[in-house]
Amino acid sequence: MLPPAGMDHLPISARAAFVDPVPLPPSDERVAAVWRDRLRLLLDSTGEGIYGVDTEGLCSFINPAAARMLGYELHEVLGRNMHDLTHHTHPDGAHYPVEHCPIFHAFRAGVACRIDSDVLWRKDGTAFPVEYTSYPILDGGQVLGAVVTFVDISERKRQEQLLRQSNETLERRVTERTQALTQAVNQLRELQAHIERVREGERTRIAREIHDELGSLLVGMKMDLSWLEKRLDGQPELRCKCQNMRGLIDNAVTNVGRIITDLRPSILDHQGLWATLEWQVQDFIDSSELPCEVSIDVPGGLPSPDGPLATAVFRIFQEMLSNVARHAQATQVCIRIRATPAELTLLVKDNGKGAPPSAFESHDAFGVMGMRERAGHFGGWVQISSEPGLGTQVILSMPLRAPASAPSQRPRFGYREATT
């Protein structure tokens, strides 16, 4: 309820609701009294804090909710400078100059505002966060003051703080889980790389033993068979049998050589990756009998990668060509090999039946996963582009360490276009 004191500070538009500036007829007095009662009831019943200030910033009226939130009695606020009383300090404790106050801008510059990042100060010296609006009071285009409404948003701020803390906790946990997952993936890749090294080592050992042991046995059998054949001049049937056995031994030698090459091509260890890739291309052309457009661009003098990197590149290239031979049903293949001191790129493209992209992301596409894992371990990548009926293109990009000196740009070797 508004006290009589301070009525002279009310703006004209507000003061008219409480006092009659000129005598009114009895009927008009009753209407004015009804409106005064309604306005007083509205101000008294609202839960928002409402107060008015004149052009000097002095409080002209205030409702009980505002006074209660500020910790004052009504009469302690009327006529006081509201900025000095409740808005004198920033949330961080710094002085709040009145010329920077948005509330006062409402009547000094006629600018309305809505702020939700400020505080008001209580009588006991404590602050509380508020959301307030300040609107100028105009009469005939002249600014007479401002009306300020505010609400205590302490609970909202508390909920926002809890939400921020929850988000921070969630982000921290996501980061921790991501780091743990990344570490686990890296460990799996290291394990896969270790398994591949062990597998290649075992392949090399088995190939060597087959070459040394089984190869020697077959050569010995062939020599003994030749010795026996020379002593069967008068026995044509036995000589014919020996000749058949010689053919079987020759086939066995050929098959042993193929098995040794499949396990670990000796050219990779003795002549390096570039020669191995060229040999693999020619072997694919001979075995598949497909027309192939081949381009190999390796600068002369470029050192050949060795060790696990060379093995990974060879195995990926071998898988790329094997997929064409087994699945593509192609009639034309394009093979391109390009190397620079920094990067090696292999491309295999066919005009076969192709497949939907989902086929290469399937959980049982172990060949594709193997190629990607091998490449990813060395910082490379494998890209597969395919559509049903439009063929397939597979690209391997693998980083190479730069050589100590700049290599010559003379081509190390060329490759003619090969056809069946």
Could you tell me the sign of the dihedral formed by the alpha carbons of 254, 260, 264, 265, in that order? negative
CB 298 within 8 A of CB 413: yes
Phi-psi region of 137 (alpha: psi -120 to 50; beta: other; left: phi over 0): beta
**How many Cβ atoms from other residues are within 10 Å of residue 402's Cβ?**
12
Q: Six-digit token pair at 181?
A: 């997952």
Contact 87, 130 (CB under 8 A): no
Per-residue pLDDT in tens (0 to 9) along the chain, 420 residues: 444 444 444 444 344 333 344 454 555 566 556 666 677 777 777 889 999 999 888 998 999 999 999 999 999 999 999 999 999 898 888 999 988 888 888 777 778 889 888 999 999 999 999 999 998 888 877 888 889 999 999 999 999 999 999 999 999 999 999 999 988 888 887 887 788 778 777 877 887 788 777 878 888 888 888 888 888 877 888 888 888 888 888 888 888 878 877 777 778 888 889 998 999 899 899 888 889 999 999 888 888 888 888 888 988 998 999 899 888 888 999 999 999 988 999 999 999 998 888 888 887 788 888 888 888 888 899 999 998 988 999 999 999 864 343 333 333 333 333 333
pTM over 0.85: no
pLDDT of res. 188: 81
In 10 A of CB 376, how many CB atoms? 15
pLDDT of residue 29: 64
Is residue 11 a contact partner of residue 145, using CB atoms and an 8 Å limit? yes
Reported as type and span, the H/E element at residue 185 is helix 154-209
Burial class (CB within 10 angstroms; exposed 0-12, middle 13-18, buried 19+) of 320: buried
| Predicted local confidence at residue 204, as pLDDT | 76
Q: Which of 6, 7, 27, 9 has its CA nearest to residue 18? A: 7
Q: Are 263 and 204 in contact (CB under 8 A)?
A: yes
Helix residue ranges, H only, 264-392: 266-270, 273-288, 307-323, 366-377
